[in-house]
Structure formats: structure tokens, C-alpha cells
Chains A and B, each alone.
Chain A
Amino acid sequence: MNGQPKESGYVQIRWIPKYTFIERFLHWVHTASFIPLVATGLVLYLPSLQPLAQGEAGIWMRLVHRLAAVLFIAEPLLYGIVQPLRLWLNMKEFGVDRDDLGWIKNAFGYYVLGKHADMPPQGRYNTGEKMNGIVMIVSWALFVVTGLIMWFGKGIVSAELFRWMVVLHDVTMIAAVCMFLVHLYLAVAHPLMWAALVSMRFGVTSASYAAEHHAKWYYGPKRARELYEAQKKHG
């Protein structure tokens, strides 16, 4: 703990809360629905997987896709019902300011090259996480609308509308899968992002990680800005 003498050989970590149990639980429900949805959807998309789309196997794929879709649709709705305040507080973190521009400028050097660039202070979610979040929210809505129309509207809506739904569902999938691949890589494989997976498992993040990566959340916007300016001045 802070204030206590450091023992040699041990790393002292002070944990601060980041996600509620419900948030973590629903995150993994979302994962557990998204991965089967992509897997069963890709069999219709990639010719190499065509044998899995045919006949009985294909009928099973379509059934699993629908079952997973129910979870996928329900999960964000449940969050809004169970913890509406938390949902609102999280949504409020999605504002955009000039630090987002600074983040984008420095992101390649920091996340790809591992350089300690002058990363402007970030809020509870950094610019990249916000982009991921926006893609997830928009793609969720598009998936749900286009998917439900294809599920229940076949033969009821016009063929023209149905065809648009199929194409839109595909385009949404492409964007969501690309975003998911980056999200998965940063969470599971990127050496600097180790704290992300910890906080999604245990709900806490390390104070030093939060201070470095989410200064505006950790110190508050004003103090974070002062620290950032001071650091830039002194190199």
C-alpha cells in the first residue's frame, strides 16, 4: 500500500475500482455472444468455410446464430435496466476534446513502436477506447435492426429492403470484426495494456497505470493538465 516501505523483490500495486460486477459479467456475456455470432456468420461469408454452411451443418449454424443473437440483443438492454446510472456515467465519458487529437497523433508511436511519446492526458476511456465503444454501440444498433428484419421480415418486407439489410449487416460485421481484432490484441497480447484484462476480470486497475494512462480520470482534468504541461516543459 502507499506509504508503506517497499520490500525488495516485490512490486507494490495499489488497486482502485473501475468496473462493477454487472459490467464485467455483461462484458463477458457480450463476448460469449459476439464470438459465436461472428463464427457462425463467417461460414456464409468465406468460401473456405462453405462446407460448414451446407445442409444440416448450415441449419445448425443459423440456429446458433439466432440463439447467440438473443444474448447479444439482451445484454446492453439488461445493463440499462440493472445499472442505468452507471450506463449514463459511462456514456458521459464519450466526449471529444483536443486531447483526442493529440492521442491520435501519438498513438502509432506509443502503441506500435513503444516510444514514450508525449501522450496528452486521457479520461476514464482513452480516445482509442472511445472509438471502440462508438463502433460497438453503432454496430450493435445496426446488427439488431438489420438482423431482426432479416429474421422476421423475410417475405414481409420488400426484397429491395431485405437486400439492403443483408449488405448493411455485412458492412457492419466487417467494421465490428476489424475493431474486435484490435480490441482483442490490445487486451490479450499488447505488453503495455496488461491492466485492461485485469480490470475486466477483477474490476480494479492499478493506481500507477491509471495515473499514466487515464490521468484526467485519476487526477481530475485540471490537475492532469497541469502535470502534463509541467512534464512537457521539463521533458
Chain B
Amino acid sequence: MDRRNFLRLSGAGLGTALVWPGRALYAGAEQQGLAILYDASLCVGCRACQMNCKNWNKLPAESTDPLKIYESPRNLSARTWTLIQLRKQISEKQSQRRFWNKQCMHCTEAACVVVCPTGAMYKHKLGFTAYDESKCNGCGYCTQACPFGVPHMRTMNMLTGKAKAARCTFCQDRVPLGRKTACVDACPVAALIMGERLELIQEGKKRIKALQETGFKKANLYGELEAGGLHRLSVLVDEPAAYALVSGIQVPPLINFWQRIVHPAGKLAMGVTVLGIVIAWFIIRRNIKMEEVE
């Protein structure tokens, strides 16, 4: 291949790669679909959900921190996808202890899906956020983008960066077959139920009303609007902050800026540069006679 053909070919190749349609940011993300409703007023903290999650997903046990009597382990990890946490609020007047089931929130506008460069994190047509481990290359962007800190890396090698992400998949190997998720299946007090999201929102609001009438004035439904609408809704007996949750949390603004502004602007800049060079080359070749160049 001579130089002229090489330049033409590489210019055409780069141009095609640049104008190739990118995926729309929140394509396929629906507020409808399946969801889980966690009712903190019913949860007795038995951790059956946690156990059955580990059981079904074949996740190994983790060592317990002896200083933390109830929370074991302390946080979600690549090996723990559902965790019962104890939220303590201790003041002079009273001390409150509340259970909280921590797992993936299955956001409609999922930051992990938006930043995943491989398509390993994706929105399932049934509404939840699914995960294809075979596609994951271990970049770890999802772990740094999730506003809830859910995905974790199974880091195998710090130096080479070889790793795989891991998180709750809404039991993607059970739910499409018509079964319930392992956590919902195991809950003995129906604090976790599964169903159509829009129906669960109505059910949740009914429960909030009942709670408020019985004296839990701050009871509220978490997840109706957060991150485009969560597919893991929560009936809380206190304000979200009591559960270490942020009301109205969305995809981090920098993530949207990066994907919506920086990415297309960069492609445009590189495309314009390539185009400009090609045009400049044709002009200069016409105007310069090589015999006259010293």
C-alpha cells in the first residue's frame, strides 16, 4: 500500500468510527417493569434474604468484624449483594434502631449502565439492571459512578488491573423464567415483595398512609423519583437520611457532563481535525510543485 492509499484508508476508517451512532444515554430505560418493594416497617432483620442471595448466586462467606455485632459483613462487596444493615439513631431522648436491606436499587437512569464502556451493565427489558459478566473488562467505572455505591470489583490483580465487577442482578437467571428473586422468595414476613413497579408504588403509598395514621409521621416511599425511578422501592418509617439515603438523588452531574458533552464534543473535535487535514492536503498538493521545494 502506498502512502496516499494508506492515508485515504485510515482517514475513511477513522471517519466511520467517529460518526458511528452512539447509544442513547438512557435508551430502553423504563419506569415500568418489575420491581421489588422493601417495607422497613415489616423487616425483622432475620437476614434470610442475605442468606438466600448468597445461596442462589453461589457467593462465598466473608469474615465477620467482631466489633460490629449485627452487620456482617459491614458493607456490600463483590461477594455480598444483599445485606441487612442496622441504622442507629441515638439521641438524648431516645435511641432508634432500624433495619435496612441494602442491595442494588436498579435505577431507571442507571449510572453504571451509562458509564459501562462494554455493555456489560444493561437495562433488562423487564425493567431491572442486568449484568453480563462475560462482557466486563474490569475497568471499574461502574463502582465509581453508582450514587448508591453498589457495584464492587473482584480485584484479582492490582498491577494488571484484571478484575470483574459484581452486584445484585435482580436474579436475572430466575426472574425471566417467572420465578421471584432469591431475597423475595426467602423473606418470611413479606417485607420484600416483587411485582409491577407502578402497582408497587400504589401499594407503597397505601402503606405509607397507614403508617402515618398510626403515628409514623415521617414515613415515606423512597424510589419513586430517585435516579429516574428506582426498581427497588422502599417503605421507610423515618426520613431517608435516617437510612443514610439521599432524597431525590440522581446520576452524578459530572457523569452526564462527561457522556453528554465531553464524549460528543471530543468526537466532533477529532472528526473536524481529520476532515480539515484531508482538505488541507488536497489544497496544498494542488498549490505546491514538489520540484520547487528546497
A191 to B23, CA, bound (A): 40
**A61 to chain B: which residues have CB within 8 Å?**
137
B141 contacts A112, C-beta separation under 8 Å? no
Name the residue of chain B whose CB is nearest to the CB of A186. B277
Whether B283 sits at the interface, judged by CB under 8 Å, is yes
| Interface of chain B residues 1 through 20 with chain A (CB within 8 A) | 3, 7, 16-18, 20
Q: Contacts A48-B16, A112-B280, A170-B258 known; A54 to B273 CB distance under 8 Å?
A: no
Q: How far is the CB of B109 from chain A (nearest CB, A)?
A: 16
A182 contacts B277, C-beta separation under 8 Å? yes
B139 contacts A44, C-beta separation under 8 Å? yes
Residues of B within 8 Å of A, CB-based: how many? 56
B284 contacts A192, C-beta separation under 8 Å? yes
Whether B160 sits at the interface, judged by CB under 8 Å, is yes
A163 contacts B255, C-beta separation under 8 Å? yes
**B161 to chain A: which residues have CB within 8 Å?**
62-63, 66, 151
| Interface of chain A residues 96 through 130 with chain B (CB within 8 A) | 111-115
User: How many residue pairs at the A-B interface have CB separations less than 8 Å?
Assistant: 147
| Interface of chain A residues 185 through 220 with chain B (CB within 8 A) | 185, 188-192, 194, 206, 208-209, 212
**A170 to chain B: which residues have CB within 8 Å?**
258, 262-263, 266
A163 contacts B145, C-beta separation under 8 Å? yes
Indicate with 1 or 0, residue by residue over B270-294, a CB within 8 angstroms of chain A CB atoms.
1001100100110111011010011
Whether A167 sits at the interface, judged by CB under 8 Å, is yes
| Interface of chain A residues 52 through 72 with chain B (CB within 8 A) | 53-55, 57-59, 61-63, 66
A181 contacts B273, C-beta separation under 8 Å? yes
With beta carbons under 8 angstroms apart, the residue of B17, B139, B287 that contacts A48 is B17
A191 contacts B294, C-beta separation under 8 Å? no
Q: Contacts A47-B20, A55-B118, A189-B281 known; A194 to B262 CB distance under 8 Å?
A: no
With beta carbons under 8 angstroms apart, the residue of B252, B263, B281, B294 that contacts A163 is B252
Whether B153 sits at the interface, judged by CB under 8 Å, is yes
With beta carbons under 8 angstroms apart, the residue of B16, B21, B145, B287 that contacts A114 is B287
A178 contacts B270, C-beta separation under 8 Å? yes
Residues of A within 8 Å of B, CB-based: how many? 54
Whether A46 sits at the interface, judged by CB under 8 Å, is yes
**B18 to chain A: which residues have CB within 8 Å?**
46
With beta carbons under 8 angstroms apart, the residue of B23, B138, B144, B284 that contacts A159 is B144
Name the residue of chain B whose CB is nearest to the CB of A43. B117
Q: How far is the CB of B171 from chain A (nearest CB, A)?
A: 22
A154 to B158, CA, bound (A): 10
Indicate with 1 or 0, residue by residue over B256-270, a CB within 8 angstroms of chain A CB atoms.
011000110111011
**A181 to chain B: which residues have CB within 8 Å?**
270, 273-274, 277
Whether A166 sits at the interface, judged by CB under 8 Å, is yes
With beta carbons under 8 angstroms apart, the residue of B134, B140, B254, B290 that contacts A164 is B254
**A134 to chain B: which residues have CB within 8 Å?**
none
Q: How far is the CB of A54 from chain B (nearest CB, A)?
A: 4
Q: Contacts A59-B162, A167-B258 known; A154 to B140 CB distance under 8 Å?
A: yes
Name the residue of chain A whose CB is nearest to the CB of B120. A54
A167 to B159, CA, bound (A): 22
A188 contacts B134, C-beta separation under 8 Å? no
Q: Which 3 residue pairs across A and B have the least CB separation, nearest first? A: A58-B137, A114-B287, A48-B20
